[in-house]
C-alpha cells in the first residue's frame, strides 16, 4: 500500500472528531496498511492516526519497539480500531513531537499506565495494559482521533514548547 501524505497543522481535518468504524471491510484493512506504511516512512515515527492522512475514522497504529524509549516495554505493532481507554493511572511529563507539527516539540503531561480496548482488523476485541513510552504514544494517537494535537496539551506555551532544530 502507498505511503500517504501527512496533513500539517493548521489543516482543519486535524481538529475534527473521528467517527467510529461500524464495519471492518477491505477499505478499513487497506487504511490500516496505509497507516503502517506511512508510520514506517516517517522520520522517527512511532504512530499515525487516520485523521493525519485525512480520514476521519477512529483508526490508529502504534509501534514503539524500534525506538530507544520503547524497546524494552512494548506490545509490538498495535493496529487499533475504535480504541478506548478504560483505566489510567500515574502522571509524567514527556517531550512529544508529531509529524503533523514537524517544526515543534513540547512537554505534555500524560498518564503513565493505561488499559485500553480496541478492535483488531480481524474483528477480535483486544484489551491491553500499556505503560511508559508506549502508553504515551497511544494517548498521543488517540488524541488525534478526538481532534486534539499535542499543542493543545503542552504544559506551558511559554516554557514547554520548543522549536525543533532538525527533523
In tens, the pLDDT along 128-161 reads 999 999 999 999 999 999 999 999 999 999 999 9
- Is the pTM above the cut of 0.85? yes
| CATH number for the domain that contains residue 58 | 3.90.45.10
Quick check: is 37 in a domain?
yes
Does the pLDDT of residue 30 top 90, yes or no? yes
pLDDT exceeds cutoff 70 at 91: yes
21, burial (CB in 10 Å: exposed 0-12, middle 13-18, buried 19+): middle
Task: Tell me the C-alpha distance between 80 and 52, whole Å.
Answer: 15
In a domain, 67, yes or no: yes
Nearest in space to 155 (alpha carbons), one of 100, 102, 106, 104: 106
pLDDT tens figures, 41-58: 998 999 999 999 999 999
Tell me, what DSSP letter sits at residue 167? -
Mean pLDDT across the chain, nearest whole number?
97
For residue 1, is it within any domain?
Answer: no
Q: How far apart are CA 166 and CA 163, in angstroms?
A: 9
What is the structure's pLDDT at 166?
A: 74
Domain ranges, residue 145: 12-163
What is the H or E stretch that residue 114 is in?
Answer: strand 113-119
Q: Nearest to residue 130, comparing CAs of 59, 80, 82, 95?
A: 80
**Residue 4 covered by a domain:** no
CA dihedral 113, 22, 19, 55 (to 10 degrees): 100
Q: Each residue of 7-21: pLDDT tens digit?
A: 999 999 999 999 999
Cell of 71: 524497546
Q: Is the pLDDT of residue 82 over 70?
A: yes
Which of these, 24, 61, 36, 52, lies nearest to 147 by C-alpha position?
Answer: 52
What mean pLDDT comes out for the span 30-38?
98
Catalytic residues: 141
Query: Average pLDDT for residues 89-112, to the nearest whole number?
Result: 97
**Would the pLDDT of 1 be above 70?**
no
Domain tally, the chain: 1
Cell 480520514: give the residue.
55
Amino acid at each position: 500500500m502507498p505511503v500517504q501524505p501527512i496533513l500539517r497543522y493548521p489543516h482543519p481535518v486535524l481538529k475534527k472528531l473521528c467517527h467510529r468504524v461500524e464495519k471492518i471491510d477491505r477499505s478499513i484493512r487497506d487504511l490500516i496498511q496505509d497507516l503502517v506504511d506511512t508510520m514506517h516512512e516517517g522520520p522517527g515515527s512511532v504512530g499515525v492516526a487516520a485523521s493525519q492522512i485525512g480520514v476521519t475514522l477512529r483508526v490508529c497504529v502504534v509501534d514503539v519497539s524500534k525506538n530507544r524509549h520503547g524497546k524494552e516495554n512494548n506490545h509490538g505493532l498495535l493496529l487499533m480500531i475504535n480504541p478506548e481507554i478504560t483505566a489510567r493511572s500515574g502522571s509524567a511529563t514527556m517531550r512529544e513531537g508529531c509529524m503533523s507539527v514537524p517544526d515543534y516539540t513540547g512537554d505534555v503531561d500524560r498518564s503513565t499506565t493505561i488499559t485500553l480496548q480496541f478492535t483488531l482488523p480481524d474483528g477480535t476485541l483486544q484489551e491491553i495494559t500499556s505503560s511508559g513510552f508506549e502508553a504515551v504514544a497511544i494517548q498521543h494517537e488517540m488524541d488525534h482521533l478526538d481532534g486534539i494535537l499535542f499543542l493543545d496539551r503542552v504544559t506551558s506555551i511559554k516554557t514547554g514548547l520548543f522549536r525543533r532544530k532538525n527533523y
